[in-house]
């Protein structure tokens, strides 16, 4: 299991059945279970087949017990956040998806003073949108560059989400993690070596939450800045369609969107999957796209960019399952 909560789900799937693990799950307290849950309900692409089981622990203790029990039985699982950079296969996925929205949903101030910075704690299951709203209302300044980025705090921390204006690491103080064995550990900012779209979290860990050091702001000023950022995103990104944001990381010294645009693929379609005419590094679902069509389009882009420029694009999106 890596920091995404992945225990072999991208390799060969073992055969899971409700009867095989349901008896074990009955011994795990405070976990909401959904069997054969379609991932299309949980991804921003609005695609993806059903996972064998979706588990939603209601506490950190329940999460720790769940992870331990599933690890002992070799059950492959992954953490499902906001589904904003995930492309799951169309067919059934014989894995367990774990959501943290019920167990890691706290959002509160840790410290406050008249003149000094304020520490804000957010659970991994809290959406970035909710955090931004909380900060604007509470006049906590520093996380505005993340406005408009979909997904949860946990997912944003794993990939060091951000924009040209800044990343989530900029204000980070520490992260609480749970190891594969269910132990809770804290990693400080100084212990991390973040990079572009990568936080460098310890292998085998799951993000529980994090603390951010924020400054004293003004609701009026912050609201205006967030509005400006959102309006800019609306002008440059196809927000009216289901998508997963940027598909590829920017190569060193280059822009992925520019390379794709220069291959002439802007507007190119495979079924209902289309390279956005507004932003070439976005693929949109025009309504009935399948995961297979989106993946085929990703591979088409990779082939054309490499053939034209000799550049191998690195995917920002995570592909789950066998296509």
Establish whether 197 is a catalytic residue.
yes
Q: Residue 285 class from Cβ within 10 Å (0-12 exposed, 13-18 middle, 19+ buried)? A: buried
Establish whether 246 is a catalytic residue.
yes
Residues ≥6 apart with Cβ < 8 Å to 16: 52, 53, 75, 94, 95, 96
* CA dist., res. 256 & res. 282, Å (int): 10
Strands 206-216 and 184-188: unpaired
CB–CB of 282/245 below 8 Å?
Answer: yes
Residue of 37, 293, 304, 316 marked active site: 316
Residue of 197, 232, 233, 318 marked active site: 197
- CA distances in angstroms from 282 to 11, 249, 251, listed in the order given: 27, 11, 16
**Main-chain dihedrals φ then ψ at residue 25, nearest 5 degrees:** -65, -25
Establish whether 269 is a catalytic residue.
no
Closest CA relative to residue 174, chosen from 218, 197, 207, 148: 207
Residue of 119, 127, 246, 276 marked active site: 246
Three-class secondary structure assignment of 108-155: EEEECCCCCCEEEEEECCCEHHHHHHHHHHHCEECCHHHCCCCCEHHH
**Main-chain dihedrals φ then ψ at residue 109, nearest 5 degrees:** -80, 140
Question: Active-site positions?
Answer: 197, 246, 316
């Amino acid at each position: 299991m890596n920091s995404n909560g992945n225990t072999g789900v991208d390799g060969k799937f073992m055969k899971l059945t409700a009867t095989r693990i349901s008896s074990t799950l009955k011994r795990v307290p405070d976990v909401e279970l959904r069997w054969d849950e379609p991932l299309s309900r949980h991804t921003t692409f609005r695609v993806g087949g059903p996972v064998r089981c979706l588990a939603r622990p209601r506490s950190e203790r329940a999460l720790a017990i769940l992870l331990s029990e599933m690890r002992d039985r070799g059950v492959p699982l992954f953490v499902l956040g906001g589904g904003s950079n995930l492309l799951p296969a169309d067919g059934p996925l014989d894995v367990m998806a774990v959501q943290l929205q019920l167990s890691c949903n706290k959002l509160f101030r840790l410290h406050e003073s008249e003149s000094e910075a304020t520490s804000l704690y957010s659970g991994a299951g809290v959406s970035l949108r909710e955090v931004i709203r909380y900060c604007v209302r509470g006049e906590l300044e520093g996380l505005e560059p993340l406005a408009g980025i979909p997904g949860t705090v946990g997912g944003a921390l794993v990939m060091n989400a951000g924009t040209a204006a800044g990343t989530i690491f900029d204000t980070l103080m520490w992260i609480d993690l749970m190891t594969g064995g269910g132990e809770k550990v804290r990693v400080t900012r100084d212990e991390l070596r973040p990079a572009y779209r990568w936080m460098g979290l310890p292998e085998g860990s799951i993000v529980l939450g994090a603390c951010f050091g924020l400054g004293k702001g003004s609701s009026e000023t912050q609201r205006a800045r967030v509005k400006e950022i959102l309006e800019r995103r609306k002008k440059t990104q196809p927000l009216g369609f289901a998508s997963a944001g940027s598909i590829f990381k920017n190569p060193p010294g280059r822009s992925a969107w520019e390379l794709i645009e220069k291959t002439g693929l802007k507007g190119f379609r495979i079924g209902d999957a289309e390279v956005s005419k507004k932003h070439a590094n976005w693929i949109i679902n025009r309504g009935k796209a399948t995961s297979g069509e989106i993946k085929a389009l990703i591979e088409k882009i990779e082939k054309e960019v490499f053939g034209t420029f000799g550049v191998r694009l690195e995917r920002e999106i995570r592909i789950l399952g066998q296509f």
